[in-house]
A and B are shown apart, each in its own frame.
Chain A
Amino acid sequence: MEAIEILFTASLWAAAIRIASPLIFGTLGELICERAGVLNLGIEGIMTAGAFAGWLTVFLGGDLWLGVAVAAVVGALFGLLHGFLVVPLGLSQHVTGIGITLLATSLSYYFYRLIFPSVTSPPKIEPFQPWPIPIISDIPIIGEALFRQTPLTYLAFAAVFFVAWFLNKTPLGLAIRTVGENPSAAEAQGVDVTLVRMGAVMLGSALMGIGGSFITLSAFNSFFFEMMNGRGWICVALVVFGSWRPGKALAGALLFGAFDAYQLRLQQLAGAYVPYQVFLMLPFILSIIALIIMSRRATYPRALMVPYRKGER
């Protein structure tokens, strides 16, 4: 059947990896925040802001990589705000996160409308082009799927290894893990819990910003409203699905990307019989199912969402 044949085409898997790339950044970013004990519900807004800031930088004449860097910085700044409000000030992580999403999104939309008051079609930029890796990209099917991606995708995969190594093999990574498990233990060893948590949130938010910039600088070439379409929230689900581990998060993102790519192609096949909305719904339903499966055995960071008040009786 054609529905099964699609699974063996290179274009499906290439699309899967493309779709997964921003999710990888977002999930890694949220993972770092949560391993440090901070839930960051600002992710949807931060990714939006990263998308806008990155795109605007390129539109104004900047280099694509400069755009990515700006997106990271913008992400880190919102992360700083979120971290400041929830760590030293101890505000509710749920409320603050949603506030940050609203703020980042509305600021992006405001500035976009300010700069482009009346446009019929969104202005375009020249996005990242695929960088085929010589020789291996000629391998049938696998080569086309894996090694003809844009540089940001390669960066995403590299980020997975980097984050895994960082969390597990470096002293700073150990500090981050400990403040997320038992802040008192970290403090007893002379670690400044506040600084480490805030730093982790900023780092994670920078990654989220880069993830957002993927959408406008690699996947598409312009910015429009509602662009994120819930990707940030899916990343939050993927963190749980990946048991807060970078490797499993990558697997989750790829699985999701594959499913999303498949559903798009199924639409073209079966669109006459099944309404297209059903296909569009499937990725979200899949995320919920993934959450159910993984939540049963969740070993989440023990101090997640527990504020740490130094010197409190």
Chain B
Amino acid sequence: MGKATAGERETVLRLSGITKRFGALLANDDISLTLQRGEILGLLGENGAGKTTLMNILFGHYVADAGEIEVEGKVLPPGQPAAALAAGIGMVHQHFTLAENLTVLDNIVLGTESLWQFSSNSQKARTRIQQLAQEFGLDVNPDAIVASLSVGERQRVEILKALYREAKILVLDEPTAVLTPQESTALFETLKRFVAKGLSIIFISHKLGEILAACSRVSVLRGGRLVAERGVEGVTRSELAELMIGRGIPQTKAEVQKAGNVVLGLHGIHARHNYQVLDGITLDVRAGEILGIAGVSGNGQSLLADVVSGVAVPIAGTLALKEVIISRISPRVMVNLGVARIPEDRHAEGLISDMSITENVISESYRSAEFAQRGFISWKKARSFALKIITAYEVKCPSPEARVRLLSGGNMQKLILGRVMANDPCLVLANQPTRGLDVGAVNYVHEQLLAARTRGAAILLISEDLDELFSLSDRVAVMFRGQLSNASPRESTSIKDLGLMMAGHGFKTGEQSHAA
């Protein structure tokens, strides 16, 4: 245990004293770290610890308030992505920076030729891309439109972008968020190949298991500060976890509970919207149980959530609440029937960012007798309702009149929870409810979901986080290409099984088990 002896290797990257403030928030506090040639350095920290900010500074997207970056001994000019690229830094962003309506070739070539150049040499580029693809095992068609690619394939394009520019330092930000467990393992092998060819890698993640599997050294960020550096051999998960959180993680575990009657029944649901498809979904969720839906992003989960939210209308099939089939599906109908919906995108769907907290808490109930009389809203009642939620759910905000845009992600999610749980719903749809939240907020959300379950609500939990699904769900099912597997009890399923199903095993498809 202790620091790795990196003396023999040379330092390819050195960050010294990086500090960055966003208003009152100190995102990075005097961080100094180094990357040695040929190593895979893990950057571990929970959401909000400052990892992405640090990498964005490295990449030139932000300018640090203080501190310096040296690449192979040369100082890197701040705030210029072009300079970072020229210095050999390649970034694989968590949210892919790809133009979806353009081809793979276009995306990779952009910026590699001078803008004043007369004509683009696409033949040369195509050849080079194919060479790289073969060398590193990243199979992709240069002329495919990015929008038609799966998430895994898009990630390959992101990586190729960096390799095409002859990156010496590759930074991967949460790369496994969109992969099945098997694909993640394959990625770690690919990373080892990169390192063998001379690259140095920074691997950013909040998942302990992966850091331990892929990296040789790990730096831990907490609250914007670098709190530890360890070699991966000999360090334990719980030690890292404690360094990451600063305290022991309470394990939220669902107590065994007998489920009641069926609350939500979907039968043979077919739907189509925006490139996503639902191909005959049948499921039921009972009172007092959590049904977890696993799956790689893009296999129809969003559309399933949209149907249950009332946003998307199915082409065929029936949706029943408490055994009553709903004939006209709309968001308002679902709200009125007691469905609490926690959307995937809290910024764009769950809340109206430019309106106040008060205005947002009544967005589903403003027409009820509680708040409106004869077409006029009682803002006094709305305000007191907002205050009630702010207090009960510990939403940190300047006042109920503050614009929602100013709230942190965790507080936004608490606000949404407060709004939708207010009337003791019979069904809760939670779609990626803890994405991007820090551990404190994640725990809070889990507690609220479990509390609702104890009260007898039926909960449909859609999540890309397998750990979350395992700790909360009573039964688990997997979505793949618009189809849903049979739900099995949590105890009789393993992560390995789920991983295989997420890649397509056991589903009726044209080609068997073609990984997404």
A–B contact, 8 Å CB criterion (strictly below) = yes
Which B residues from 251 to 277 make CB contacts under 8 A with A?
none
Is A275 an interface residue, CB under 8 A from the partner?
no
* CB nearest to A302 among chain B residues: B101
A189-B114 in contact (CB<8A):
no
Using known A-B contacts A171-B120, A311-B61, determine if residue A185 contacts B113 with beta carbons closer than 8 Å: no
Q: Is A188 within 8 A of B93, CB to CB? A: yes
Q: 1/0 per position for A168-201, CB-CB distance to B under 8 A?
A: 0111101101100110111111111000100000
B102 touches A177 (CB 8 A): yes
User: B352 on the interface (CB 8 Å rule)?
Assistant: no
B26 is an interface residue with CB less than 8 A from chain A: no
- Is the pair B61, A171 in contact by a Cβ cutoff of 8 Å? no
Q: Is the CB of B61 within 8 A of A190?
A: no
A187–B61 Cα distance when bound, in Å, is: 8
Asked if A277 is at the interface (CB within 8 A of a chain B CB), the reply is: no
- Tell me if A169 and B119 are in contact (CB < 8 A): yes
A299 at the interface (CB under 8 A from B): yes
B117 within 8 A of A: yes
Q: CA–CA, A173 to B87, complex, Å?
A: 25
Q: Is the CB of B106 within 8 A of A174?
A: yes
Q: Which residues of B contact A311 (CB under 8 A)?
A: 61-63
A174-B63 in contact (CB<8A):
no
Q: Are B100 and A181 in contact (CB under 8 A)?
A: yes
Q: Which of A175, A182, A192, A299 contacts B98 (CB 8 A)?
A: A182
Given contacts A178-B99, A311-B62, contact A189 B111 (CB under 8 A): yes
* Interface residue ranges of A16-73 to B (CB < 8 Å): none
Determine the chain B residues whose CB is within 8 A of the CB of A169 once the complex forms.
119-120
The yes or no answer to B376 lying at the interface (CB within 8 A) is: no
Cβ of B502 < 8 Å from any Cβ of A?
no
- Contact of A296 with B by CB under 8 A: no
Is there an interface contact between A185 and B110, defined as CB atoms closer than 8 Å?
yes
B114 touches A171 (CB 8 A): yes
Whether the Cβ atoms of A170 and B120 lie closer than 8 Å is yes
Contact of B116 among A172, A185, A310 (CB under 8 A): A172
Within 8 A of A (CB), among B45-99: 59, 61-63, 80-82, 84-86, 91, 93, 97-99
Nearest A residue to B84 via CB reads: A190
The reply to whether A189 and B117 form a contact with Cβ atoms under 8 Å apart is no
Q: Are B106 and A190 in contact (CB under 8 A)?
A: no
Complex interface: chain B residues within 8 A of A178 (CB): 99, 102, 106-107, 110
Known: A171-B120, A174-B106, A188-B81. A182 touches B114 (CB 8 A): no
Residues on B with C-beta less than 8 A from A302 are 99-101
Contact with B along A143-184 (1 / 0, CB 8 A): 000000000000000000000000001111011011001101
Specify which of B80, B106, B115 is in contact with A172 (CB 8 Å cutoff): B115
Q: CB of B161 within 8 A of chain A?
A: yes
What is the interface of chain B mostly: helix, strand, loop, or mixed?
loop
Question: In residues 441-497 of chain B, which contact A (Cβ within 8 Å)?
Answer: none
Q: How far is the CB of A307 from chain B (nearest CB, A)?
A: 14
A297 within 8 Å of B (CB atoms): no
A182 touching B119 in the complex, CB below 8 Å, given contacts A189-B110, A191-B110: no
* CB of A14 to closest CB in B, whole Å: 35
Residues of B close to A174: CB separation below 8 A? 102, 106, 109-110, 120
Determine how close the nearest CB of chain A comes to the CB of B405; give it in whole angstroms.
Answer: 10
Selected from A170, A177, A185, A188, the residue in CB contact (under 8 A) with B119 is A170
B102–A186 CB distance below 8 A: no
Q: Are A190 and B85 in contact (CB under 8 A)?
A: yes
Q: Are A189 and B100 in contact (CB under 8 A)?
A: no
- Say whether, besides A175-B110, A185-B110, A190-B82, A313 and B22 are in contact (CB < 8 Å): yes
Supposing A170-B117, A171-B113, A171-B115 touch, asked if A182 and B99 sit within 8 A by C-beta, the answer is yes
Q: Mark A294-313, 1 if CB is under 8 A from B, else 0.
A: 00000101100000001101
Find out whether the CB atom of B101 lies under 8 angstroms from the CB atom of A186: no
Contact with B along A221-254 (1 / 0, CB 8 A): 0000000000000000000000000000000000
From B59, B86, B115, give the contact of A175 (CB < 8 A).
B115
Question: Chain A contacts of B111 at CB under 8 A?
Answer: 175, 186, 189-191
Taking the nearest CB of chain A, how far is it from the CB of B90, in angstroms?
10
Across the interface, do B101 and A299 meet the contact criterion of CB distance under 8 Å?
yes
For A186, give its contact among B63, B84, B110 (CB under 8 Å): B110
Nearest Cβ on chain B to A56's Cβ, whole angstroms: 33
Near A by CB (< 8 A), chain B positions 290-332 give none
Distance, CA A220 to CA B99, complexed state (A): 44
Chain B residues within CB distance 8 Å of chain A: 22, 59, 61-63, 80-82, 84-86, 91, 93, 97-102, 106-107, 109-120, 161
* A-B CB contact pairs (8 Å), 28 listed: A169-B120, A170-B120, A171-B113, A174-B109, A174-B120, A175-B115, A177-B99, A178-B99, A178-B102, A178-B110, A181-B99, A182-B99, A184-B97, A185-B107, A186-B99, A186-B110, A187-B61, A187-B97, A188-B97, A189-B85, A189-B97, A189-B112, A190-B81, A191-B110, A196-B115, A302-B100, A310-B61, A311-B62
Q: What are the 6 closest A-B residue pairs judged by CB atoms, nearest first? A: A189-B111, A190-B82, A181-B99, A188-B97, A171-B113, A182-B99
- Chain A residues near B (Cβ < 8 Å): 169-172, 174-175, 177-178, 181-182, 184-192, 196, 299, 301-302, 310-311, 313
